[in-house]
Structure 1
Amino acid sequence: MTSSPAPLDLTADPAELTAALVDIESVSGDEAAIADAVQAALWAQAPHLEVIRDGDAVLARTNLGRDSRAVLAGHLDTVPVNENLPLRRTGSADSADGEVLHGLGTVDMKGGVAVFLHLAATLPRPRHDVTFVFYDCEEVEAARNGLGRIERTLPEWLRGELAIVGEPSNAAIEAGCQGTMRVELRCTGTRAHTARGWMGVNAIHALGEPLARLASYQARVVDIDGLTYREGLQAVGIGGGVAGNVVPDEAVLSVNHRFAPDRSAADAEAHLREVFDGYELSVVDSSPGALPGLGAPAAAELVAAAGGKAAAKLGWTDVSRFAALGMPAVNLGPGDPTLAHTRQEHVRADEIRAVAETLRTFLR
């Protein structure tokens, strides 16, 4: 890793391009070096594209006058380094598992970014117009997300008939996404000395009833466009207590709800207020889901290019932002999403190439 990385070769094997991108450290908020490298490579190797810079995001697009446009979006940033840089390799093309790339960002999501950059340089005349969005600060709070900034300042760059977000999906199409909501349930009591506990009311003990409701909760399983979305409701934190000899007079239970995209955020909140009827509830974080929209022509073409298979995305991704703009959106990228944000991040080289081939078939 250096402050001035070697020039990127966008026409190279996308697995090799992934390796080059991984070795440009780009923790959220420090994406300037990788954005510089991406911008320089697009200017030099993709003269057919209109290329602009927005902060540490780089945007590029064809302007061929096609009847439809696909938006391919991938974030340049990673979570903090965790003893997993520089890149290392195991295996080979002749081994059972093939060549495997290990390191920060291999899964989340420089493999997907490499595929998009490779296609940007090697498909000058795709059958759909294409916009490529390489953005910053996805791995931190939503207010800093580069895609959100672009939506506010350059909204015309996000318009199209289909959005493809390169988040890891095991090289398969994962359509739409779940919504997510976090609420806090607050119980109050009366302080007392623990030696005279009967004189107080223990707020932590009062959480027993809402916790029992959570333990017996039966989550919905929903079929949308032939895809199965599983909802969830989980306690994710408990806060309370004053001192080791004081009956606590306040306790807070934090609950996360993952809801299927047929519910709006308002529907999800109403459902939680029904589940926890009788308790004070406040919403502290909320992001809507995204319907799969696989019936849209461009989405159906992509599914066909991927062999006719798609699955539901069990999690939240930036496809939600595109769905809010009225576009069908899917996740398609190399790598196992369960490895994201772990020290063990790794991706198979042949999976990177498989995603590139699927998208090449769709766009060519």
Structure 2
Amino acid sequence: MADPRTSRPALDLSADAVAITQAICDVWSVSGEERELADLIVDALADAPHLELIRDGDCVVARTNLGRDRRVVIAGHIDTVPVNDNLPTRFENVDGRRWLRGRGTVDMKAGVAMQLKLARELADPIADITWMWYDHEEVGADRNGLGRLARNRPDLFRGDFAILGEPSNGQVEGGCNGTLRVELRATGRRSHSARSWVGVNAIHKLAPALERLAAFEAETVTVDGLDYREGLSAVGVSGGIAGNVIPDEAVVVVNYRFAPSRSVDDAIAYVRAIFPEYELTVTDAAEGARPGLDDPLAQQFVRAVGAEARPKYGWTDVARFSAMGIPAVNFGPGDPMLAHADDERVDCDEILASERALRAWLTGGA
């Protein structure tokens, strides 16, 4: 098989959104390796007279400056999780539908592709638009390219409404759950495993925590009319130094996905209350975002694209916009259940339908 990291020709944004999706998916851009794709995006938009281009690392911003009364920010990340023998992309037919299969097709290069096509073609939208394509979304929040851009150029985030192209099956998903990752640490005393009664086994001391996690029942919390399902899960366990030593330390990593009605501090307090006997270390945390669907622009968008408003269970960067006072929703092609899967694939008709809906709203045709 050819090396999927082979350099690609220039992006042709006059092609349809499906072809653009395939082209950018076949450009290797695992988190930390987005430069080639960022370069291709800049080259593809460089001669568009209606766009001002700005670059911050491997984050590319393209915006109109038409003096409109309103400004919409439309964003998408260009990185993917690691490839697992699922590049280059390929088309397949399933149940009479045409799918594009491969890493990034769902999360979220189909959304980016339709955005790139519209950015190139919409010279006279009804609102000024700031397009943002950013790096490092699929890793820790401290490396997120949108967060870095907000720190370096907060002026670029002026807007009345924001749309993030995360996969939502072509529907509108309001807000997002928050996320918290913590380490629960148990300590013991080392000894030779042949004399295990001399030591205290730290791994065994994790058993109560694992039992509580296995028995946890996810709560559904209604926030502004949308039902957010929470989750509390063990996502990693470590401990032990050798096959003949009783371990004196063991750690279970726990991920709590919490409704946007809770703050990060609320979430930490909640987890501490469940595991009071363990040393708890927070390793990553991000606030959720309330739906924001009571905003008139958000309501207009939902009506215009003919979508059904739903909750977003996973964390997305709508939370960053929400924190800056900008109502934001998720809207993009692709089934979130297939994100990061080895058989990741997107319905080609859904890409085209999502692009048509967004185009209609941005041109006043809806």
TM-score (norm 1): 0.91
Q: Measure how far apart 1:264 and its partner are.
A: 0.4
**Structure 1: how far apart are the matches of 2:39 and 2:178?**
34
Match of 1:39 among 21, 39, 42: 42
Distance 1:313 1:76, change over 3 A: same
Match of 2:204 in 1: 205
Find out whether 1:257 has 2:260 as its counterpart: no
Match of 1:55 among 54, 57, 71: 57
Match of 2:146 in 1: 147
Superposed, 1:103-142 pairs within 5 Å as 103-142=102-141
Matched residues, percent identical? 57
Q: Deviations over 1:46-68 (max 9, x none)?
A: 31111222222221111122222
Match of 2:18 in 1: 15
Q: Measure how far apart 1:119 and its partner are.
A: 1.2
Question: Is 2:172–2:307's contact at 8 Å kept on the other side of the alignment?
Answer: no
Distance 1:243 1:96, change over 3 A: closer
Tell me how many residue pairs correspond in the alignment: 360
Superposed, 1:83-94 pairs within 5 Å as 83-91=85-93
Superposed, 1:194-273 pairs within 5 Å as 194-273=193-272
Find out whether 1:24 has 2:27 as its counterpart: yes
Distance 1:246 1:43, change over 3 A: closer
**Structure 2: how far apart are the matches of 1:178 and 1:270?**
17
Q: Deviations over 1:226-247 (max 9, x none)?
A: 2110111112222223443433
Match of 2:70 in 1: 68
Q: Measure how far apart 1:137 and its partner are.
A: 2.3
Question: Is 1:10–1:17's contact at 8 Å kept on the other side of the alignment?
Answer: yes
Question: Is 2:141–2:286's contact at 8 Å kept on the other side of the alignment?
Answer: no
**Structure 1: how far apart are the matches of 2:195 and 2:356?**
71
**Structure 1: how far apart are the matches of 2:258 and 2:115?**
30
Question: Is 1:3–1:33's contact at 8 Å kept on the other side of the alignment?
Answer: no
Distance 1:282 1:354, change over 3 A: same
Q: Measure how far apart 1:280 and its partner are.
A: 2.0
Q: Measure how far apart 1:78 and its partner are.
A: 2.3
Q: Deviations over 1:247-289 (max 9, x none)?
A: 3332222211110011000000011111112332221211111
Match of 1:322 in 2: 321
**Structure 2: how far apart are the matches of 1:194 and 1:17?**
59
Q: Measure how far apart 1:358 and its partner are.
A: 1.8
Question: Is 1:68–1:128's contact at 8 Å kept on the other side of the alignment?
Answer: yes
Q: Measure how far apart 1:21 and its partner are.
A: 1.9
Q: CA RMSD in A?
A: 2.1
Superposed, 1:272-287 pairs within 5 Å as 272-287=271-286
Distance 1:155 1:252, change over 3 A: same
Match of 1:82 in 2: 84
Superposed, 1:266-345 pairs within 5 Å as 266-345=265-344
- SS in structure 2 at match of 1:121: helix
Q: Measure how far apart 1:140 and its partner are.
A: 3.0
Distance 1:3 1:206, change over 3 A: closer
**Structure 1: how far apart are the matches of 2:214 and 2:82?**
34
Question: Is 1:10–1:117's contact at 8 Å kept on the other side of the alignment?
Answer: yes
- Matching residue's letter, 1:67: D
- SS in structure 2 at match of 1:347: strand
**Structure 2: how far apart are the matches of 1:236 and 1:122?**
43
Question: Is 1:170–1:334's contact at 8 Å kept on the other side of the alignment?
Answer: yes
Q: After TM superposition, which residue ranges in structure 1, 4 or more long, deviate above 6 angstroms? A: none
**Structure 1: how far apart are the matches of 2:310 and 2:104?**
23
Q: Measure how far apart 1:107 and its partner are.
A: 1.4
**Further displaced range: 135-144 or 321-330:** 135-144
Structure 2 alignment gaps of length 5 or more: none
- SS in structure 2 at match of 1:283: strand
Question: Is 2:219–2:229's contact at 8 Å kept on the other side of the alignment?
Answer: yes
Q: Measure how far apart 1:319 and its partner are.
A: 1.6
Q: Measure how far apart 1:72 and its partner are.
A: 0.7
**Structure 2: how far apart are the matches of 1:9 and 1:47?**
17
Question: Is 2:233–2:255's contact at 8 Å kept on the other side of the alignment?
Answer: yes
**Structure 2: how far apart are the matches of 1:168 and 1:63?**
28
